[in-house]
Amino acid sequence: MKLVIGNKNYSSWSLRPWIAMKALGIAFEEIVIPFGEPIGNPEFKAKLAAYTPAGKVPVLIDGETRVWETLAILEYLAERFPAKQLWPADVQARAAARVLASEMHAGFSALRGECPMNIRRPIKPRAISAAAQADVARIEAMWKEARARHGGPFLFGKFSAADAMYAPVVTRLNTYGINISRDTRDYMDAVMALPAFAEWRAAAIAETWIVPEDEADWPTVLTA
Amino acid sequence: MTLKLIIGNKNYSSWSFRPWIGLRAASIAFDEEVIPLYDDGSKEQILARSPGGKVPILIDGDVKVWESLAILEYAAEKFPAAQLWPADAAARAHARAVATEMHAGFVALRGECGMNMWRPVAKKELSADAKANIARVAEIWTDARRRFGAGGPFLFGRFCAADAMFAPVVSRFETYAIDVSAPVRAYMQAMIALPAWQEWRRAALNETWVIPKFEESYPNVQRLKA
């Protein structure tokens, strides 16, 4: 099985299935296609076209089957590796996990736009709009409710596809020094303590590619 | 206990249309509750039913599910005989990929061509982004029909959750008189011919709630007759 991803420093969509597979012990090879610049440049598109008609990373390749869209990849893996329990075993918890994952998949555009994932950026607070603050409030409420109901440390007890969907949000809240509750911080610590997260982070920091569109402080590029 | 689906206006709520037609076309029984959107108190009514604050919401006893895609996944698990996803693993993976692409994508098209079932069919000036969205949607439909559609007129042969996700796009293509190829037109016709589609459309055209921001020429609102 192969996973086609973009830059580890910036590609939040790539992080999602990657961390799910690593954290749950599903073996795969990775193919990194750097975004280059500007975003959506012909070279990137041409390289990616060999793997997907949708023009976006990530893409999972399993023999003849090619799956794009993060959430579809996670569903595919859940079916393909039932023993890994990508979704919670309990019906009600599973429905709730899919709701959280779907809200992430299509939502929180203000937060995503203002706080792009940028793993190497040193922690430095950034002022965010009221819309982004509302996104943060909604995310915190969902995380808190899920963890209170299922006991933590992850959203549904043990690590699941829902946590994979929110992993890039954890890095954003951390990187941009967003004001959050103690409870949210505990969850973020649990995600960032995953060996899979540390592995991704180390690789992201070692990358040298710069994508201006994702540098919130551009033309300054903050580095550690 | 019967399932209950809480939805918005049938004329405008494209997200409501998706699980509604998914369940109806698969003959899964449910009660519906319509909350007219952008009306006095509608936000509070929705929040009282789901913390997501958005329709549609599926209620199954103690379980509350919102987000169209999560609702379709829930129904697919609960009613395996309804085959909301294709039975073949490769087709199913593809169906989920295109359903998910719909779930988060085509923002320009959605913004410029809001679902508005009673709007008389007429073309509209579209941005380059919306045109690119239209081309990608047509490619998704044509490719799925060609690769997986042998067993029927829908994307994966028989009607499935991926078709439900694209139902409002079929409505938009129709309403805004988008130029399409013959295979795309044939797919749209199969969708529009569904009894479930006709039932929804009739109800939409009979609604009296007008949402000004979704009407291009408000306060002039031209309406097709049911």
ipTM of the complex: 0.92
Model confidence at A32: pLDDT above 80: yes
Q: Test B96 with A71 for CB contact under 8 angstroms.
A: yes
Q: What is the DSSP string of chain A?
A: -EEEE--TTT-HHHHHHHHHHHHHT---EEEE----SSTT-HHHHHHHHTT-SS--S-EEEETTEEEESHHHHHHHHHHH-GGG-SS-SSHHHHHHHHHHHHHHHH--HHHHHHS---TTSPP------HHHHHHHHHHHHHHHHHHHHH-SSBTTBS--HHHHHHHHHHHHHHHTT----HHHHHHHHHHHTSHHHHHHHHHHHH-----GGG-TTTT-----
Neighbours of B184 (CB within 10 A): 20
Averaged pLDDT for residues A91-110: 94
Q: Which strand (E) or helix (H) includes residue B4?
A: strand B3-7
Q: What is the pLDDT of residue B19?
A: 98
Query: What is the distance between the alpha carbons of residues A55 and A1, in angstroms, rounded to a whole number?
Result: 20
Q: What is the pLDDT of residues B61-117, one digit of tens each?
A: 999 999 999 999 999 999 999 999 999 999 999 999 999 999 988 999 999 999 999
Sign of torsion over alpha carbons A142, A12, B89, A28: negative
Q: Would you call A72 and B97 a contact, using CB atoms and an 8 Å cutoff?
A: yes
Rounded Cα–Cα distance for residues B164 and B103 (Å): 11
- Give residue-wise pLDDT tens across range B12-24: 999 999 999 999 9
Q: Cis before residue A219, ω within 30 degrees of 0?
A: yes
Confidence category of residue B170, pLDDT binned at 50, 70, 90 = very high
Average pLDDT for chain B: 95
CA dist A165 and A20 (Å) reads 9
Retrieve residue B140's tokens.
Answer: 């998704």
Q: Kindly determine whether residue A69 and residue B89, on different chains, have CB atoms separated by under 8 Å.
A: no
Closest Cβ–Cβ partner in B90, B100, B139 for A105: B100
- Domains of chain A plus CATH, in order, are 2-84 (3.40.30.10), 91-199 (1.20.1050.10)
Band (pLDDT 50/70/90 cuts) for residue B153 is: very high
pLDDT at B136: 96
Chain A environment of B100 (Cβ under 8 Å): 69-72, 105
Please state the domain extents for chain B: 3-82, 89-199
Q: Report yes or no: A162 at the B interface, CB cutoff 8 Å.
A: no
pLDDT, one tens digit per residue, over A162-177 is 999 999 999 999 999 9
Q: Is the pTM of this model over 0.80?
A: yes
Banded pLDDT at A59 (limits 50, 70, 90): very high
pLDDT for the residue numbered B226 = 79
**Confidence category of residue A36, pLDDT binned at 50, 70, 90:** confident
Q: Is the pLDDT of residue B51 over 90?
A: no
- The answer to whether the beta carbons of residues B56 and B49 sit under 8 Å apart is no
> Which pLDDT value is given to residue B84?
98
In the predicted model, is pLDDT for residue B45 greater than 90?
Answer: yes
- Interval B201-216: pLDDT, tens: 999 999 999 999 999 9
pLDDT at A224 over 80: no
Nearest to B65 among A65, A67, A95 (CB): A95
Q: Which residue of A has its CA nearest to B96?
A: A72
Q: How confident is the model at residue A84 (pLDDT cuts 50, 70, 90)?
A: very high
Structure token pair of residue A198: 């540390």
A106: pLDDT confidence band, cut at 50, 70 and 90? confident
Between chains, do B139 and A103 touch, taking CB under 8 Å as contact? Answer: no
CB contact A161 to B (< 8 Å): no
B3-82 has which fold? Glutaredoxin (3.40.30)
- Whether A98 and A192 have beta carbons less than 8 Å apart is answered as no
**B50 or B198, which is more confident?**
B198
Confidence check: pLDDT of A39 > 90: no
pLDDT of B1 higher than 90: no
Structure tokens at A202: 């180390």
Cross-chain Cβ contact A106/B51 below 8 Å: no
pLDDT score of A37: 81
CATH (residue range B89-199): 1.20.1050.10
CB A200 within 8 A of CB A6: no
Confidence of residue A158 (pLDDT cuts 50, 70, 90): very high
B96–A72 CB contact, under 8 Å: yes
